[in-house]
Amino acid sequence: TGHSSSHSAVFHPETRKTTAEGVEGVEIYKVLFLSHESAYNTGAHNTCAELCSVEFACDDKGFNVNYHEKGKCEKVISYDSKVVVPTVGTPKKETLDSKAAFQGLYCSEICENAIHKDTLYLSSIHRCAIVVLAINLGTGKVKIITDAEKCHTIIGAGEGRLLVSTSSPGEIPSVLLYDVAKGEFSPVLAPKQDEATKTEVSVKIQQHYDNFDSILLTPTHSGALDTVLLMPHGGPHSAHTCGWVLYYEFLLQLGYTLLLVNYRGSIGFGNDSLLSLPGNVGTNDVSDCMQALDHTLSENENLKKVGVMGGSHGGFLTLHLLGQHSDRFDVGIARNPVTSIAGMVSATDIPEWCYCEALGVGARPRCFGPTAEDLDKMLRASPIYHAKNVKAPTLWLLGKEDKRVRPLAAMDYIACLKSKGLPLKTVMFPKDSHPLSSPQTEFESFINVAWWLKKHLYETG
């Protein structure tokens, strides 16, 4: 294909048979695929993808051939591909609303049979939502065909129809059928939601300076509390979206307001924004979280208490915020957090992450072992550098089998907090790894989180 990173290939359904004299039985195929050249070249995970196509021919024996109109066929080893949708650096504003501008492709697969009349349909992250895109394969023009403030994911396709799962905060997933010829959605499966357990919530997408967003989820039921929980996502190159998430629903039911921040470096906001974070972790992302928090508190005077919680890079930011802005937070919860990049680089399955995020794009294109200067930069970008300033009580949720961020790496940080006499609790899940996603672990995590928040926010004495 001519690309260093090519995957998720599907055949275009229209295969053409040649009719030229002397080349009976030769067929020409078109294949569509995704390429993450930007990720390969920069070392940053989950960067903006390209949609590409390549055509090739096979004779009646299945051998690849290069077909010429005059009837000559030659065996071919490789083919040149065509970029249908390129990487989007900075999105072009087609209207005054920047949310309407196409932000680029942030997806890892193409759904088979999702091509109809030379239009490909696929799901992609778009700012704070997962949307369905219609891509004209001839012109490369991209159109968003779903609501950009809900989540829509293609789960199946065929015969000119798409099966789409959709959800939003407080609205459990349902299934729609999209008729591509009519351009219409119709309901297929809408599970009944018990009114007693339905989450009453308002959803507000907040746009901030420097091209990043946050999602403010506010419980509207009678049990709403005066606490906002700042929740930075992991990755760091991932994103919060306006979909139904069990963890969020649980916290909203308890009455907590949730502030989900898609800081610069998140996917779905153009590749330039994403690549602005490597080399600036612990600085730009922390600044964006505080900007979103200050904006939220200024517009919601009823919110008096502030907590912060996150996992992986979200845990990294949780600890950074507790250390750099120790007077602003009443409580913290960290799930498998990165505490020291310098300590992580030699004990993780993704050492390239440490080089890229701490040192910057292109600083170390291949990992040859860190220099003393590298380790110093990694340490200064890490939460443990600010651990001496932490004042809030912290809950730690760790997976013993985590190979990405090993739990023993947290012990230096925990020892520092213990030496200060701060309240803390460590829960080690013996059979779980980085995601902490097994049913038993999720259940126990929920219970510990609810208890910790109540104890340190609302119990006295």
Catalytic residues: 312, 402, 434
Q: How do strand 129-136 and strand 142-144 relate by DSSP bridges?
A: antiparallel
Tell me the angle at which helices 351-359 and 372-380 cross, rounded to the nearest 10 degrees: 70
| Strand-pair partners of 212 | 208
Please give the span between the terminal C-alpha atoms of the chain, in angstroms, as a whole number.
67
**Alpha-carbon gap, residue 23 to 89, rounded angstroms:** 44
**Alpha-carbon gap, residue 335 to 434, rounded angstroms:** 9
Please, are residues 31 and 10 in contact by the beta-carbon 8 Å criterion? yes
**Alpha-carbon gap, residue 259 to 216, rounded angstroms:** 5
| Strand-pair partners of 33 | 52
Cα-only R_g, the chain? 25
Long-range Cβ pairs for the range 114-119 (8 Å, 24+):
114/154, 114/157, 114/162, 115/10, 115/12, 115/13, 115/32, 116/160, 116/180, 116/181, 117/180, 118/14, 119/180
Q: Is 208 left (phi over 0), alpha (psi -120 to 50) or beta?
A: beta
Please, are residues 81 and 52 in contact by the beta-carbon 8 Å criterion? yes
Place of tokens 């602005």: 276
Please, are residues 400 and 428 in contact by the beta-carbon 8 Å criterion? yes
Nearest Cα to Cα of residue 236 among 266, 260, 259 = 266
Count Cβ atoms below 10 Å from residue 441 Cβ, excluding itself. 19
Please, are residues 401 and 432 in contact by the beta-carbon 8 Å criterion? yes
**Alpha-carbon gap, residue 365 to 373, rounded angstroms:** 16
3 state SS of 97: coil
Consecutive H or E run containing 220: none
Nearest Cα to Cα of residue 327 among 394, 392, 231 = 392
Q: Is 104 left (phi over 0), alpha (psi -120 to 50) or beta?
A: left
